[in-house]
Amino acid sequence: MSTDLLKRASTFTGEVLNRFYPAPGEQVGDTFSLGKLRHILFAPGELSVWTGLNGHGKSLLLNQLAIDVAKEGQQVAIASFEMSAKRTLYRMVRQAVGADQPADWLITQCLQWLDDLMWIYDHTGTVNTNDLLKTFHKAATERGVAHFVIDSLMKCGIAEDDYNAQKALVDRLQNFAQTDGIHVHLVAHSRKKNNEDDAPGKMDVKGSGAITDLADNVFSVWRNKGKEAKVQQLADTKQTIPDELRNKPDAILDCSKHRELGGDAEGRYGLFYHRASMQFIERPGDLPFFYFEA
């Protein structure tokens, strides 16, 4: 090791002081707007892994985080290889305006608002990760994009059993985050379970254990399909939904690893789903956020 890398503790005094007491207005990381999720920090230089079963809300929750972050003036790049740009933006506009059938002019204005904040990597299917990372590096250094979503690892051209290649890619993503001082969100699907009643954890991520070992933060998103089925059954037979059922969460965000905050952020957070806006909300009956109003 070069002796230049061996430094005295006090060399870092400024940085440590800053970690205790950031200067007013200084960017220490971004968060969701939802009160109960607000202390989960997405800091520059980190990699978050997002897992969960198919159709359990990972992309929606990440889109919501993207809008939360954008609302604070940060730029986000989304590479969603299983969803067209049109579909991603359709869902995002619904979330941003808080409604399922906004007027044409509101949709157009909302997309104009997103213009300065949201970048879409317009590619579906298996991606060339060299091209992707080149584009992302440029976006970070030349345009100041702060958050990058990669949805998902499965479409990065690596075989499910090629653990070495998975580890190498996750390593590259973490280096990208650290070198460019940005946050990477990587979606990695979880293994299929016997049923969908149990929320998958970090041990259930498909592929190499290195994916979650290397990640700074690990989240899983679980959808309460049991509740949905019961509510549907009651609605079909025109019965009222008992409060006990109504108050059960529609989804759970499980933060099983948070490198910076540990137990202060780790835990399971119950969320409710607002169908028209496709937003996750804190309590049943809450209004969605109106991120974009004309």
Ligand X SMILES: Nc1ncnc2c1ncn2[C@@H]1O[C@H](COP(=O)(O)OP(=O)(O)OP(=O)(O)O)[C@@H](O)[C@H]1O
CA-based torsion, 261, 263, 267, 271: positive or negative: negative
Helix count and strand count (H, E) for the chain: 9, 9
| DSSP single-letter state for residue 204 | G
Q: Are 79 and 139 in contact (CB under 8 A)?
A: no
Site map 52..81 versus ligand X, x via CB under 6 A: x-xxxxxxx---------------------
Q: How far is the CB of 123 from ligand X (least distance, A)?
A: 15
Q: Is 55 exposed, middle or buried (0-12, 13-18, 19+ CB in 10 A)?
A: exposed
Query: For residue 149, what are its two tokens?
Result: 């979503």
- Which of 74, 250, 252, 292 lies at the binding interface for ligand X (CB under 6 A)? 250
* Shortest reach from residue 227's CB to ligand X, in Å: 8
Task: Please choose, out of 20-28, 48-56, 120-128, 194-202, the segment that lies near ligand X by the rule CB under 6 A.
Answer: 48-56
| Assigned token pair, 120 | 């879409």
CB of 99 to ligand X, least distance (A): 15
> Looking at beta carbons only, is 45 or 270 nearer to ligand X?
270
- Map tokens 């804190």 to a residue: 282
Residue nearer to ligand X on the CB measure, 43 or 76: 76
What x/- string results for residues 82 through 121 when contact with ligand X is judged by CB under 6 A?
A: x---------------------------------------
**Tally of CB atoms within 10 A around 262:** 9
Q: Which stretches of the chain bind ligand X, using CB under 6 A?
A: 52, 54-60, 82, 189, 223, 228, 250-251, 273
